């Protein structure tokens, strides 16, 4: 059981580790980390209290996607190590043209994938509260213009736009 798990986990661990490392380095170079250091926090405190929260968001988002890799890799790993599982069942159903079993496997995998995607979205919102405001819902990307004011036009975008017909 150890070898199949390692076969599936090592490529994902390397990929997610690279993503987390890059995000952690970016977070440690950001202004909030500099401000925490200026307040006298230790380097471990800056990493644990401030940078790790920002660095975890990309890893959490990609971990839901990684489930698809695990399912597709499970078919091959179960065949190589002669382990019974969902992948082996799906392969046997495809080779014997057992449509109800194929539909059942696809349905189970789809439901698990949807649930895991929802869980990763919720975890990302818990880890990074900037993604949602409890009173108003998702944080808007741009503030709406105050009532009675003209919209601001970007000069660069206006230069690329065609002239209005008269």
pLDDT tens digits, one per residue of 86-133: 888 988 999 999 999 999 999 998 898 899 888 988 888 888 777 766
State the chain's mean pLDDT as an integer.
81
Q: Rounded to an integer, what distance in angstroms lies between the CA atom of residue 51 and that of residue 44?
A: 10
pLDDT of residue 139: 52
The arithmetic mean of pLDDT across residues 28-38, rounded, is 90
The residue that leads in pLDDT, 47 or 144, is: 47
Q: Where are the domains of the chain?
A: 2-135
What integer pLDDT is reported at residue 22 of this predicted model?
93
* pLDDT number for residue 138: 57
d(CA 64, CA 17): 15
Buried b (16+ CB within 10 A) or exposed e, 25-52: eebbeeeebeebeeeebeeeebbeebbb
Given a contact cutoff of 8 angstroms between Cβ atoms, the answer to whether 57 and 124 are in contact is: yes
Query: Residue 110's closest CA among 68, 63, 66?
Result: 68
d(CA 124, CA 119): 9
pTM given for the model? 0.64
What is the predicted pLDDT for the residue at 133?
62
CA dihedral of 142, 22, 43, 37, whole degrees rounded to 10: -30
């Amino acid at each position: 059981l150890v070898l199949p798990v390692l076969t599936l986990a090592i490529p994902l661990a390397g990929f997610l580790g690279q993503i987390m490392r890059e995000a952690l380095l970016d977070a440690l170079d950001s202004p909030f980390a500099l401000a925490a250091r200026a307040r006298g926090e230790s380097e471990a405190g800056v990493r644990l209290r401030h940078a790790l929260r920002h660095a975890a968001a990309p890893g959490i988002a990609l971990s839901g996607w990684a489930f698809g890799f695990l399912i597709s890799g499970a078919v091959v790993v179960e065949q190589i190590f002669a382990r019974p599982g969902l992948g082996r069942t799906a392969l046997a159903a495809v080779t014997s043209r057992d449509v109800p079993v194929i539909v059942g496997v696809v349905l189970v995998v789809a439901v698990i994938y949807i649930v895991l995607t929802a869980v990763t979205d919720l975890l990302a919102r818990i880890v990074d509260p900037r993604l949602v405001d409890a009173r108003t819902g998702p944080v808007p990307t741009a503030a709406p213009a105050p009532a009675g004011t003209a919209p601001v036009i970007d000069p660069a975008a206006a230069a690329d736009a065609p002239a209005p017909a008269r």
